[in-house]
Structure 1
Amino acid sequence: MSLARKGRLITLIGLGLLAAVYVRALAFTPVERVQGPAQKIYYLHVPAAIWAEMAMFLVGLAGIFYLFLKDARLDRFAEASAEAGTVFAAIVLTTGPIWGKPIWGTWWTWDARLTSTLFLFFLYIGY
């Protein structure tokens, strides 16, 4: 089995397991008393937010090392991290308002957390 084929197989297995975890989290966890079903969005929203921030950290770290070492692999790593971070930031910006509407009564408030996440998303798009 070639390396590319093994990589695709591992990716498919990982995506299948991830889907199973989310089905389990969304379908079989009890409904929270105060927030109701909207609370289950956290199971997708919070990890995506953590990984979006982690990806930005990796972009910055790889960029700093690239400036000193001039290794093209570091630049490619930063670019790949930015692509992953874009996906995670888009998930955060999609699931956040879906949760916020029933809880806060509005889709969007211009507070620091939401605005900084939107700014992070625009930084990823620009990169």
Structure 2
Amino acid sequence: MVRVGRWITAIALLLLVGVYVRALAFTPVERLQGLAQKIYYLHVPAAIWAESAMVLVGIASVFYLFLKDPRLDRFAAASAEVGTVFAAIVLTTGPIWGKPIWGTWWSSDARLTFTLFLFLCSARCTRCPSC
């Protein structure tokens, strides 16, 4: 059964790479933003997954406080790790898009600062789960 799971994972990763290659190579260049617009194909889904993972961390943590089920704590820790990875992608690809469009690498927008705050909190949770 494990081998089937590995094959499915390998096929899914190949299909994902194919989707991104197709999206980047065959979509037309946007008139105003140029090639910088294509970063959205990675940046926006990563932002959605990062914020979703952080919401799951919060929900699992609240339920853990009431139920004291260690599975909820492990789920929250795993979600924090996933959220950290996706938030790192967001915080890396965002400035790549922002520099040619806004003319600056970082804007002190509330959404950007909140995403950085979530990244730092989740990175801290993954480094020291008991904190």
Identity %: 78
Say whether residues 1:117 and 2:85 are aligned partners: no
Which one of the candidate residues 21, 24, 28 is aligned to 1:23? 21
- The yes-or-no answer on 1:90 pairing with 2:117 is no
Q: Distance in 2 between matches of 1:90 and 1:36?
A: 24
Length-normalised TM-score, structure 2:
0.90
**1:99 lines up with 2:110 in the alignment:** no
1:20 is displaced (CA, Å) by 1.1
- The amino acid of 2:112's aligned partner reads L
Could you tell me how far 1:109 is from its partner in structure 2? 1.4
CA RMSD of aligned residues (A): 1.1
Matched residue of 2:108: which SS?
coil
Task: Give the TM-score, by structure 1 length.
Answer: 0.93
Structure 1 equivalent of residue 79 of structure 2 = 81
Structure 2 residue ranges without an equivalent (≥5): 126-131
CA deviation digits over 1:17-71, x for unaligned, max 9? Answer: 2111111111110000000010000010001001100000000111111112211
The runs of at least 4 consecutive aligned structure 1 residues that moved more than 4 Å come to none
Q: Distance in 1 between matches of 2:90 and 2:9?
A: 22
- Structure 1 residues without counterparts, runs of 5 or longer: none
* Count of residue correspondences: 125
